[in-house]
Amino acid sequence: MKSIYDSHVRYLTAVCLRYIPSEDETKDVLQEAFIKIFSSIGTFRGSDSALRAWMRRIVVNEALMHLRRRSKDPLFLGDNALPHDVPEEDPEPEGIPPDVLQQMIMRLPEGCRAIFNLYVFEQKSHKEIARLLGIKENSSTSQFHRAKSLMASMIKDYRDAQRLEK
């Protein structure tokens, strides 16, 4: 178990941090996830890459459950929650360092961030996301578009700041 933990903890921490920005909360979520992983690892059959994907799914599910438990406000806003200043084009994130992109993602509101991560990184459809989160499919779609708009604004601001520094 120690070797499994040691070889996957950094990766799973990075996955968890996409959903939970607080390091303390991430540690709590990872602890719960590893309890689930180790209590059912005896039933797992598959390759090392399948094991990693299985563990990632457990961590993502734990992170989502944690967000739902601790959220006093609704995690997901209504369909009309799009920002007023939506850029006409989505700027591509090319040339922006990964750590800067990660910081931008972490600045998204929780609901948008969760849906953005599920759609982009976990490659879930809006139908799957809606089922996972107990929301309507069009709420998932609108929250994703809101996340994209916010990311586009942050990318534009970053690029503008980079131009000014030169």
The whole-number average pLDDT for the span 60-67 is: 92
Kindly report the average pLDDT of the chain as a whole number: 86
In this prediction, residue 90 has a pLDDT band, given cuts at 50, 70 and 90, of low
Same domain, 8 and 61: yes
Domain range enclosing 117: 98-165
Same domain, 65 and 105: no
> Count of CB atoms within 10 A of residue 91's CB?
15
Same domain, 61 and 103: no
For the chain, the helix, strand and coil percentages under 3-state DSSP, each to the nearest 5:
70, 0, 30
Residue with tokens 């590893």: 34
CATH code assigned at 161: 1.10.10.10
Domain boundary among 70, 89, 107: 70
Total domains, the chain? 2
94 in Cβ contact with 47 (< 8 Å): no
48 assigned to some structural domain:
yes
pLDDT at 5: 92
Closest CA relative to residue 154, chosen from 101, 97, 98: 101
The total number of residues written for the chain in this structure: 166
Supply the pTM of this predicted model: 0.78
Same domain, 52 and 112: no
Q: Say which residue, 83 or 143, is predicted with more confidence.
A: 143
